[in-house]
Amino acid sequence: MLQEDKEGQERYRVTRTYSRTVVACLTVTRDPGMEHHEWPPLVPVIQHQPQHGHHDQGAATMGNQSGALHHLGRQTYLLGPDARFKFELVFNLVLTFSFSATGVLTNSINIAVFARQGLSETANINFLALSLSDLVIVAWFLAKALCENPLLVHASPLFLTLRDFFLLTLPVYHAAQGFGAWVTALITVERTVCIVYPLRVKTIFTPARVSAALALVLLFELASLAPPYSSMQLVWVVSAGSNLTKLRHADQHGQHGALSYLVFYTAPSLAAFTVVTLGTAILVVKLRQSVRRRQEMTHKSGQEVAQKEVKVAQSVVLVCVMFVVCYSPCVYVIVKGALDPDFHFGDPYYEHFVFSYLSVTFFLQSVSSSMNMFVYIKLSSRYKQTFRQVFCAAKPA
Condensed to tens digits (0 to 9), the pLDDT of residues 205-240 reads 999 999 999 999 999 999 988 877 777 766 666 666
Q: Could you give the C-alpha distances from 305 to 202, 284, 286, 293, in angstroms and in order?
A: 15, 19, 17, 13
DSSP assignment of 101-162: HHHHHHHHHHHHHHHHH-SSSHHHHHHHHHHHHHHHHHHHHHHHHHHT-TTTTTS-TTSPPH
CATH H superfamily, domain 82-391: Rhodopsin 7-helix transmembrane proteins (1.20.1070.10)
- Give the Cα separation of 90 and 356 in Å (integer): 10
> Mean pLDDT over residues 31-56, rounded?
39
DSSP assignment of 158-225: TSPPHHHHHHHHHHHHHHHHHHHHHHHHHHHHHHHHHHH-TTTHHHHS-HHHHHHHHHHHHHHHHHTT
pLDDT recorded at residue 137: 95
The most confident of 18-32, 35-49, 127-141, 301-315, by mean pLDDT? 127-141
Start-to-end CA span in the chain (Å): 106
Rg for the chain (alpha carbons), in Å? 28
Least confident residue range of 250-254, 324-328, 382-386:
250-254
- Give the Cα separation of 35 and 16 in Å (integer): 33
Could you tell me which residue, 159 or 353, shows the higher pLDDT?
A: 353
pLDDT recorded at residue 273: 92
pLDDT at 73 over 60: no
- CA angle at 298 for the pair 294 and 302, rounded to the nearest 5°: 55
Condensed to tens digits (0 to 9), the pLDDT of residues 7-27 reads 444 444 434 443 333 333 333
Q: What is this structure's pTM?
A: 0.72
Least confident residue range of 156-160, 230-234, 351-355:
156-160
Condensed to tens digits (0 to 9), the pLDDT of residues 95-153 reads 999 999 999 999 999 999 999 999 999 999 999 999 999 999 999 998 888 777 666 55
Element (H, E) at 233: strand 232-238
